């Protein structure tokens, strides 16, 4: 059997290791040089590589490779599909536009605290196929699932968690409906024995939750959705917040202060995580929930406090590549705010974000490819906006510092992708941290004189 590994990044290497004894393997990548190719491995590299796969029986698509880029007569498959088909371990799948990593990590933390063996895989952890051999039936798989992983999935996890869905990746998906349709596969193939927990107000999340009806019997259609409930809603028997406590069915679980993450959106993420845990284990104690929340202090580049310099606190939220996630960052603080916006274009609409900046009296530092449009929209709406003279991170930080007020905050929450100026959102975040730390050193030296 001839097998092509389409895309040779982290997931592609896991796909290669899993399939290397199952046929004749060829590594395929659009890059002229791919890292860590095994000695003697057959390759097809360079621009147009994915269009040269007509003679293969199976093409293993990595998540970063869009299905429409592949030209083959064989079967297009993926590590996600193979894992879902072969895994005998209960799977909690988590999708959404933002918050997937945080919610999956909270689930993982709670399960570990409660003494359960939890494996965190997918978009945040290690590739799922890399842990398939060690996953036992008594374990739990927590699988963060992006639209790219779900795009052609043919099976759904036992528990689907659907967070808020807003426009994203429209530079890859042809339109918003294709993006939603890809996400639907987390729910589409669930049975009546499975469950879905979805966002309380987002209409796109509700559309995904209803996707199980697309393949259901007429009897199931008449009966309504298979088990699906909105998290953060008391009447739907899921975890909600009341009087600063996480609660479920009138049971006080723990104080919201156990959660170490700022913002209402993270309280919502915690409600989703705790509800997902309850869907599998009804016997988790209040103490385990509290400790599990408390132990998780956040992921890199997700609204992480970096430093306070001359009374101004700096937060790295480089993961925020959509307007909705930047709005959530703004809503997390009452202090005077400066926000750094802009980057490469993913087809986002910034109107709501600019309006939020106006309502919160937030100053905008406009950077990158989308910075010009953001600047124009700010001027039009009367939002104070600054376009730094250079796009070096140190200059950007200096502009934010000059615009800030004592007791205020500066947030890198760009609402755009990073690829115009940086290698990735994490690279952008690391450059921000470095620039803030450099500023702190200068401030400390000035104070010491």
- Looking up residue 61, the CATH number of its domain turns out to be 3.40.50.720
Predicted local distance difference test score (pLDDT) of residue 136? 86
Gap between the Cα atoms of 265 and 199, Å rounded = 11
Indicate if the pLDDT at residue 143 is higher than 60: yes
Count of structural domains, the chain: 3
Domain boundary among 21, 44, 73: 73
Indicate if the pLDDT at residue 447 is higher than 70: no
Stretch 417-434: mean pLDDT, rounded?
Answer: 95
Range(s) of the domain holding residue 37: 2-73
Predicted local distance difference test score (pLDDT) of residue 48? 96
- The single-letter DSSP state of residue 34 is -
Q: CB atoms < 10 A from the CB of 172, how many?
A: 18
- The confidence band for 222, taking pLDDT boundaries of 50, 70 and 90, is very low
Q: Which tens digits make up the pLDDT trace of 190-200?
A: 988 899 999 99
Task: CATH number of the domain at 384, please.
Answer: 3.90.190.20
Q: Which tens digits make up the pLDDT trace of 21-38?
A: 999 999 999 999 778 899
Same domain, 40 and 111: no
Predicted local distance difference test score (pLDDT) of residue 442? 87
Same domain, 271 and 340: no
Stretch 293-314: mean pLDDT, rounded?
Answer: 95
Same domain, 313 and 277: no
Predicted local distance difference test score (pLDDT) of residue 149? 95
Provide DSSP, 69-91. G---SSEEEEHHHHHHHH--S-E
The pTM assigned to this predicted structure is 0.89
Q: CB atoms < 10 A from the CB of 32, how many?
A: 9
- The confidence band for 445, taking pLDDT boundaries of 50, 70 and 90, is confident
Same domain, 89 and 188: yes
Same domain, 118 and 242: yes
For the beta sheet containing 251-255, the strands, ordered from the edge strand earlier in sequence to the opposite edge, are 240-242, 245-248, 251-255
Q: Which residues does residue 241 pair with via DSSP β-bridges, in sequence order?
A: 246
The secondary element (H helix, E strand) that includes residue 403 is helix 393-403
Predicted local distance difference test score (pLDDT) of residue 443? 82
Stretch 160-164: mean pLDDT, rounded?
Answer: 98
Same domain, 105 and 31: no
Same domain, 277 and 364: no
Same domain, 46 and 86: no
Same domain, 351 and 244: no
Domain boundary among 245, 274, 295: 295
Query: For residue 214, how many C-alpha atoms fall within 13 Å in the half-sphere facing its CB?
Result: 14
Indicate if the pLDDT at residue 217 is higher than 60: no
Q: Which long-range contacts (CB under 8 A, 24 or more apart) does 100-103 make?
A: 100/124, 100/144, 100/145, 100/146, 100/163, 101/144, 101/299, 101/302, 101/319, 102/261, 102/266, 102/269, 102/298, 102/299, 102/302, 103/161, 103/163, 103/269, 103/272, 103/273, 103/276
Q: Is 198 strand, coil or helix?
A: strand
- The confidence band for 214, taking pLDDT boundaries of 50, 70 and 90, is low
CA-to-CA separations, 188 to 122, 136, 160, in angstroms, rounded:
19, 25, 10
Q: Which tens digits make up the pLDDT trace of 77-136?
A: 999 999 999 999 999 999 999 999 999 999 999 999 999 999 999 988 799 999 999 888
Same domain, 126 and 224: yes
- Rounded to the nearest 10°, the torsion over CA 225, 231, 237, 242 is -160
Q: Which tens digits make up the pLDDT trace of 314-333?
A: 999 999 999 999 999 999 99
Share of the chain above pLDDT 70, in %: 96
Predicted local distance difference test score (pLDDT) of residue 403? 97
Q: CB atoms < 10 A from the CB of 215, how many?
A: 11
Q: Which residues does residue 314 pair with via DSSP β-bridges, in sequence order?
A: 307, 410
**What rounded mean pLDDT belongs to the chain?**
94
Same domain, 430 and 308: yes
Q: Which tens digits make up the pLDDT trace of 354-373?
A: 999 999 999 999 999 999 99
Domain boundary among 73, 89, 107: 73
Same domain, 355 and 431: yes
Task: CATH number of the domain at 236, please.
Answer: 3.40.1190.10
């Amino acid at each position: 059997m001839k097998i092509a590994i389409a895309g040779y990044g982290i997931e592609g290497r896991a796909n290669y290791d899993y399939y290397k004894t199952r046929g004749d393997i060829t590594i395929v990548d659009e890059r002229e040089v791919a890292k860590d190719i095994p000695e003697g491995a057959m390759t097809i590299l360079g621009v147009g590589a994915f269009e040269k796969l007509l003679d293969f029986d199976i093409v293993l698509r990595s998540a970063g490779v869009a299905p429409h880029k592949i030209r083959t007569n064989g079967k297009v498959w993926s590590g996600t599909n193979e894992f879902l088909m072969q895994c005998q371990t209960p799977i909690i799948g988590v999708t959404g536009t933002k918050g997937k990593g945080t919610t999956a990590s909270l689930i993982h933390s709670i399960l570990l605290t409660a003494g359960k063996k939890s494996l965190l895989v997918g978009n945040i952890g290690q590739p799922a196929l890399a842990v398939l051999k060690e996953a036992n039936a008594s374990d739990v798989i927590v699988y963060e699932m992006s639209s790219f992983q779900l795009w052609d999935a043919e099976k759904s996890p036992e528990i689907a968690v659907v967070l808020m869905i807003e426009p994203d990746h429209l530079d890859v998906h042809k339109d918003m409906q294709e993006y939603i349709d890809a996400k639907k596969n987390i729910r589409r193939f669930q049975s009546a024995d499975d469950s879905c927990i979805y966002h309380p107000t987002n209409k796109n999340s509700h559309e995904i939750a209803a996707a199980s009806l697309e393949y259901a019997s007429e009897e199931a259609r008449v009966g309504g959705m298979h088990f699906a409930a909105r998290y953060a809603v008391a009447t739907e028997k899921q975890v909600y917040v009341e009087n600063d406590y996480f609660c479920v069915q009138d049971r006080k679980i723990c104080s919201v202060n156990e959660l170490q993450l700022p913002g209402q959106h993270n309280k919502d993420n915690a409600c989703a995580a705790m509800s997902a845990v309850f869907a599998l284990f009804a016997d988790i104690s209040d103490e385990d929930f509290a400790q599990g929340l408390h132990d998780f202090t956040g992921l890199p580049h997700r609204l992480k406090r970096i430093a306070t310099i001359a009374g101004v606190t700096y937060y790295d939220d480089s993961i925020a590549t959509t307007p909705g996630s930047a709005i959530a960052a703004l809503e997390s603080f009452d202090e005077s705010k400066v926000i750094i916006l802009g980057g490469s274009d993913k087809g986002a609409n910034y109107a709501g974000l600019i309006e939020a900046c106006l309502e919160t009296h937030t100053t905008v530092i406009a950077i990158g490819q989308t910075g010009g449009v953001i600047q124009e929209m700010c001027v039009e709406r009367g939002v104070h906006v600054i376009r730094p003279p250079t796009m070096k991170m140190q200059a950007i930080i200096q502009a934010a510092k000059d615009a800030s007020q004592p007791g205020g905050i500066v947030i890198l929450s760009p609402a755009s992708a990073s690829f115009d100026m940086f290698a990735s959102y994490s690279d952008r975040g690391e450059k921000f941290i470095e620039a803030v730390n450099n500023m702190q050193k200068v401030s400390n030296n000035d104070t010491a004189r």
